[in-house]
């Protein structure tokens, strides 16, 4: 297992937790943080010990405050075209295992873009979220202009991006940006409960459900249901499907093997 400087990782009961660990910088996304997240994801992608990946920030004030402004001032044409942060968040969005963002504090700019790349977002009551990039003369370039409209609608996303308005956790819940809001002390436990519930389901079904949702929601309905049908057809051939049906009929918990 890799060792890291600006993130910490742990694995407990099938949940791999990545904590961005720069509390003195409000957990800003440096190039080191991005590289270390990518490495941790590589470590866990084929690991049988990790079924669900969670992200959170160190301390009580920030999930991730955004990009490291000390580095942002040096970004140029070549860096923009390389799309390092965007590619990493695309990888998180496409990750074969479920991902959960536990938003423990402010999630701004790249921090909110990281959370939006995850499958599920839960937030502490004290969390605040926004995409303030236009204040800096740039735009949300790590998926923000694309993922936010798909989550909250074009109108609300446009208003948030053009004004750089920061919203509360309660507003984020109302917008559909997060799925639950809990007391700060309950955040990780709530996220872990969701992760544990996911682990009781068929892992191949989870993976293909993610695939169908991600790829079917951006095409016309007929193409989407075709993607769904093909994914379901694959699942019909698996041992997990047979086990799931047998367990239901025998009134016992299933024992899925991901085969």
Q: Where are the alpha helices (DSSP H) in 217-258?
A: 221-236, 239-249
Whether 40 and 2 have beta carbons less than 8 Å apart is answered as yes
Does position 225 have pLDDT exceeding 90, yes or no?
yes
Placement of tokens 């016309």 in the chain: 220
Q: What angle do helix axes 221-236 and 203-216 make, rounded to 10 degrees?
A: 170
CA neighbor of 91 nearest in space, from 71, 63, 113, 69: 113
91/193 same-domain check: yes
Model pTM score: 0.93
Catalytic residues: 113, 133
Q: At 48, which CATH number?
A: 3.90.226.10
pLDDT of residue 82: 78
pLDDT of residue 1: 61
Does position 240 have pLDDT exceeding 70, yes or no?
yes
Does position 243 have pLDDT exceeding 90, yes or no?
no
Phi, psi at 54, each rounded to 5°: -115, 145
pLDDT of residue 170: 97
Highest mean pLDDT among 79-88, 177-186, 234-243: 177-186
Quick one: average pLDDT of 62-79?
Answer: 78
CA geometry: angle 111, 113, 119, nearest 5 deg = 110
Structure tokens at 252: 């016992």
The count of domains in the chain is 2
94/143 same-domain check: yes
Does position 229 have pLDDT exceeding 70, yes or no?
yes
Whether 36 and 74 have beta carbons less than 8 Å apart is answered as no
Range of the domain at 243: 203-249
Give CA–CA dist 158/154, Å, rounded. 6
More confident residue, 137 or 127: 127
pLDDT tens digits, 193-202? 999 999 999 9
Q: At 217, which CATH number?
A: 1.10.12
């Amino acid at each position: 297992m890799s060792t890291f400087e600006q993130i910490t990782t742990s694995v407990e009961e099938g949940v791999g937790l990545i904590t961005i660990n720069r509390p003195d910088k409000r957990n800003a996304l440096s190039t080191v943080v991005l590289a270390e997240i990518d490495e941790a994801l590589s470590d866990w992608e084929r690991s049988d010990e990790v079924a669900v990946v969670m992200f959170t920030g160190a301390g009580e004030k920030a999930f991730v405050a955004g990009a490291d402004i000390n580095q942002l001032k040096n970004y140029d044409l070549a860096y923009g075209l390389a799309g390092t942060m965007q590619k990493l968040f695309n990888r998180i969005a496409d990750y074969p295992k479920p991902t959960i963002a536990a938003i423990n504090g402010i999630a701004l700019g790249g921090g909110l873009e990281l959370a939006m790349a995850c499958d599920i977002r839960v937030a502490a009551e004290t969390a605040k979220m926004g995409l303030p990039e236009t204040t800096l003369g740039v735009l949300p370039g790590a998926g923000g202009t694309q993922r936010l409209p798909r989550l909250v609608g074009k109108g609300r996303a446009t208003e948030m991006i053009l004004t750089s308005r920061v919203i509360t956790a309660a507003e984020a819940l109302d917008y559909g940006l997060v799925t639950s809001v809990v007391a700060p002390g309950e955040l990780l436990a709530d996220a872990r409960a969701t992760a544990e519930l996911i682990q009781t389901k068929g892992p191949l079904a989870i993976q293909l459900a993610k695939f169908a949702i991600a790829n079917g929601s951006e095409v016309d309905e007929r193409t989407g249901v075709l993607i769904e049908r093909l994914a379901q057809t694959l699942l019909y051939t698996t041992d997990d499907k047979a086990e799931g049906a047998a367990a239901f009929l025998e009134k016992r918990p299933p024992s899925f093997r991901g085969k």
